[in-house]
Each structure stands twice: as structure tokens, then as C-alpha cells.
Structure 1
């Protein structure tokens, strides 16, 4: 199966229109359609964005290997909570931190570094 077919399969599995699928990625429905039809290649940046936004297995998306989805962040956080005896507040902090953009994380990291100095 080609990358275009895998992208189409993913979008259908998620039940999203071209427009709704592209919105969180910052691209138009035309861009997604062209990738699905392989009129346009899927860039490395686009593949990584899709994987991050929709919890997709990178190898599945790019090479067709493995399962479509990776572990959801929630299940990973639950595993951490069990291993490290985290309470609900700890879990919320981690879950919300993972949802931040790179620039937002940088601000928080700088603040935390200042506390430890």
C-alpha cells in the first residue's frame, strides 16, 4: 500500500473530512487531497506532524510497517503514574505539558531551570 493510500485509510479511520484532517496540521484540504492522490509527496515534516497530531506510528505511515497507531499519550501517562506513584495532579501536569507547542515548553523549561538554580 502506498503512502497516499495509508493517509486516506487513516483519515477515513478517524472519520475526518479532508478539511478537518488538515486543520490541526495547518494545511488545506487540497494539500491533503494531493498527498492522498500522490500528486504531491509527503514531506518528512508533514509525516511527523501527522504522527504527532493523530498518534500515528511513523513507520506505518511512511513504510507500511507495524500498527497504524502508537500508544496514546494517556496510556503512556498511566504507565508512568503506576511506575512512579503519580497522583492525578501529576498526571494532569504531564498530559497538559505534552499538548504544548515547542515554544511553550521552552518557556516552562526556562522557568523550572530558574527555580533549581
Structure 2
């Protein structure tokens, strides 16, 4: 993968996405993404920044192939990204309903939930 277009194509495949979904996340057309992947077009600085920001891609890797493809996120950053994506989802999505339910738990509910998670983790190990 010596060329930028090859790395973009590889990134999309690594994300397990279709070019259409990748394009939607970047607010560009699927045709433009196909042109990027084939090398017909080159991404603008803005497009490179958007790819790195939206998909947590190491900019140096995207531009040159050096380093790791993805930037390692802290747990707080992972949670922040997850919640941000959920908030942008459809109003009746399961994830949004679930987070809304979690926000309404009192301390005793959290204790019960913690015990359930600990039991699930034990069962998964055993």
C-alpha cells in the first residue's frame, strides 16, 4: 500500500464498511469515494482531516503509510464517541432508549446492574 488511494480503500475494508456508508459519514458522494479509492481523484486537506477525525485514523499512516492505522483511544474517548454516535441516531433506536434508561437509574439500580455484569463476566470466563 504505497499510495494514498490504496490506504483509503484498505481503511474502508478494515472498517467493514461499504463505500456508501463511508461516504455518508464524510458527507460526500459514493462516487467521490470510489474515485478516491481508484486514484482518479485525490482527497482535499479537508477530506483527509474528516477521515482522520470521523474514523480515528492516524493522519501520518493515511498520508504516508507510516505507523499504525488507528489512534488508540482512552476509555473515556471511546465512551464519548459511542454516546455521540448514539445521540445522532434515530429517536427510537435501542441504544438511545437503553442509554436513556441508564440515565434514570438510582444508586440501588446501579448496584444491581453491577452485580449482573460481574456475573456475566464470570460466566464468560468459566
Query: Which TM class, normalised by the smaller chain length?
Result: 0.5 to 0.7
User: Counterpart of 1:60?
Assistant: 61
- Whole-Å Cα distance in 1 between the matches of residues 33 and 63 of structure 2? 15
Query: Number of aligned pairs?
Result: 83
Q: Which residues of structure 2 form unaligned runs of 5+?
A: 86-126
1:45 aligns with 2:41: no
TM-score, length of structure 1 as denominator length: 0.64
In the alignment, which residue of structure 2 is the partner of 1:77?
Answer: 76
Larger radius of gyration: 2
Work out the CA distance in 1 between the residues paired with 2:84 and 2:39: 30
Per-residue deviation at 1:63? 1.1
Q: Distance in 1 between matches of 2:72 and 2:40?
A: 31
Q: CA RMSD in A?
A: 2.3
Q: Deviations over 1:1-28 (max 9, x none)?
A: 1000000000000111110011010001
After superposing on structure 2, the runs of 4+ consecutive aligned residues of structure 1 that deviate more than 3 Å are none
Q: Which residue is 1:21 aligned to?
A: 22
TM-score (norm 2): 0.59
- Aligned-pair CA distance for 1:56: 0.3
Task: Supply the distance in 2 between the matched residues of 1:68 and 1:60 (Cα, whole angstroms).
Answer: 6
Tell me which residue corresponds to 1:89: none
Q: d(CA) in 2 for partners of 1:40 and 1:99?
A: 31
Where do 5+ consecutive residues of structure 1 fail to align? 79-91, 101-117
